[in-house]
Amino acid sequence: MKVLIGGIVALLFGLWGLIGWWSEFVGILQGTIPFILLVGGSIATYAGIASAKDRAAKKREEEIKEIEKRVEKLEKEKEKKEKKK
């Protein structure tokens, strides 16, 4: 019950503070929103680059496996031809 009352009191003080210092609150928002967008954009860009690198590495691995399969197939064909001779 004490926590509920404390929460309500904090809520009322917060509301009172927003009403009383609205212009200061807006000023803080004007300063922090561009910073938050900058940091968030940087993180998203980094994540996008990392994801693209992961996809490229996976594609390279798949190509290598395909080439290895082709090499094995060619080696088997070569062995068959040599056995026939």
Residue 66 is predicted with a pLDDT of 96
The beta-carbon contacts of 56-59 under 8 Å, at least 24 apart in sequence, are none
* Cβ-based neighbours of 25, under 8 Å, separated by 6 or more: 18
Mean pLDDT across the chain, nearest whole number?
A: 94
Average pLDDT over residues 2-18: 96
Range of the domain at 28: 2-84
65-78 pLDDT, tens digit per residue, is 999 999 999 999 98
Query: Three-state secondary structure along 21-64?
Result: CHHHHHHHHHHHHHHHHHHHHHHHHHHHHHHHHHHHHHHHHHHH
Number of domains in the chain: 1
